[in-house]
Amino acid sequence: MAFLTDRKRAVGMGSAKSGTEHFWAMKKSSVALLLLIPFFVFTFGSALGGTYEEVLAYYSRPFPAIIAALTIAVGMKHFNDGAQVMIEDYVHGTAEKVAILLVTCLSYGTAAVGVFAIARLAL
């Protein structure tokens, strides 16, 4: 072991080769949310405070329904990626795998319920 160079000792202990992928996924979802959130606020804001029938009529139009569904889906994917990075940084061992699995189930489940609710309103 004493004859190993520093480079040879470091081989296999570095990057897991997925950091760049996570970085770009977070950047893309951030830019998408940067565009979607103002649209969502303006579309949701005009329906806020209305009766059930008014909200139903408003979200039966395609533009508000698509904006709301995209915001929910992209927002939950962004949440999943960010929470996974935090878990990878601070939790280790079996607890890390369990926590990532739970956060992934939570985020995809929340996105599915949200998109289903929008689809029920829109259709």
Is the domain defined by 21-122 classed in CATH 1.20.1300? yes
Residue 117: the pLDDT is: 95
**What gap in Å lies between CA 67 and CA 39, rounded to an integer?**
7
Residue 17: the pLDDT is: 62
Give yes or no for a contact between 44 and 68, defined as CB atoms under 8 angstroms apart: yes
**What gap in Å lies between CA 52 and CA 9, rounded to an integer?**
65
**What gap in Å lies between CA 53 and CA 59, rounded to an integer?**
10
Q: What is the pLDDT of residues 92-101, one digit of tens each?
A: 999 999 999 9
How close are the terminal C-alpha atoms of the chain, in Å?
A: 68
Token couple for 1: 């072991």
Give mean pLDDT in consecutive 10-residue pieces for the chain, a chain of 123 residues.
71 66 92 96 90 93 95 97 94 96 98 96 91
Residue 71: the pLDDT is: 97
